[in-house]
Homo-oligomer: A and B are copies of this chain.
Amino acid sequence: MENTIDTIYDRRSVRKYIDKEVNPDLVDEILRAGMFAPSGYNKQPWEFVVFNKKEIINEIKNMHPYASSLETAPVCIMVCGDTQKELAEGFYQVDCSAAIENMVLAARALGLDTCWMGIYPWEDVMAAFSQRFSLPENIKPFALIALGYAESRQPRPKRYDSSKIHYNKW
């Protein structure tokens, strides 16, 4: 398995996947990785809805403005935040983001690729997912992760920018 630093550099958002199922054990490993993220006061305010039926994934694709990756993705994971586990407003978004980053890295390390698509902060998109899946009032749909085997992979980009680093003062 690839080492951590290379995985971080090789992760890319992938929008086209080949027609190959994802072993449920791999999905489980990715979910486990999400649950190992740090969270505020260790409240772990995340919940996961795994979609692996083409019919529902197609429906979700049409509920989100930028979800073309769901055209071919065999799996889609909706990550939700639980406001009852939040000690201050704004926490679940931070904690769920850390969980998702763990998940997209774990996926890459397992030979899979992902595309992270926000549901938050668009209130109309959040409302549509809450309604469609009858989410309890305290469970907020936060983001979707498309998951599958990439049709092709891009090379590493150049992203390092020393102008963003400051020492001991702004």
Which residues of A are in contact with B by a Cβ distance under 8 Å?
A: 1-5, 7-9, 11, 13, 28-29, 31-33, 35-38, 40, 44, 46-53, 56, 88-91, 93-95, 97-98, 100-102, 104-106, 108-110, 116, 118, 120-122, 133-136, 139, 159-161, 164-170
Q: How many copies does the complex hold?
A: 2
Given known contacts A88-B122, A93-B90, A1 and B11 CB-to-CB distance under 8 angstroms:
no
Given known contacts A93-B93, A106-B8, A169 and B49 CB-to-CB distance under 8 angstroms:
yes
Chain B residue contacts of A52, Cβ below 8 A? 167-168
- Tell me the dominant secondary structure on chain A's binding face: mixed
Chain B residue contacts of A102, Cβ below 8 A? 8, 101, 105
Q: A48-B164, A51-B168, A105-B105 are in contact. List 20 more A-B contacts (CB 8 A).
A: A2-B3, A3-B109, A4-B106, A4-B108, A5-B29, A5-B106, A31-B160, A31-B165, A32-B159, A35-B160, A36-B159, A38-B116, A48-B165, A49-B168, A50-B167, A52-B167, A52-B168, A90-B120, A93-B94, A94-B118
Whole-angstrom distance between the Cβ of A20 and the nearest chain B Cβ = 20
- A166–B139 alpha-carbon span in the complex (Å): 13
Whole-angstrom distance between the Cβ of A122 and the nearest chain B Cβ = 7
Given known contacts A36-B11, A93-B93, A98-B100, A105 and B50 CB-to-CB distance under 8 angstroms:
no
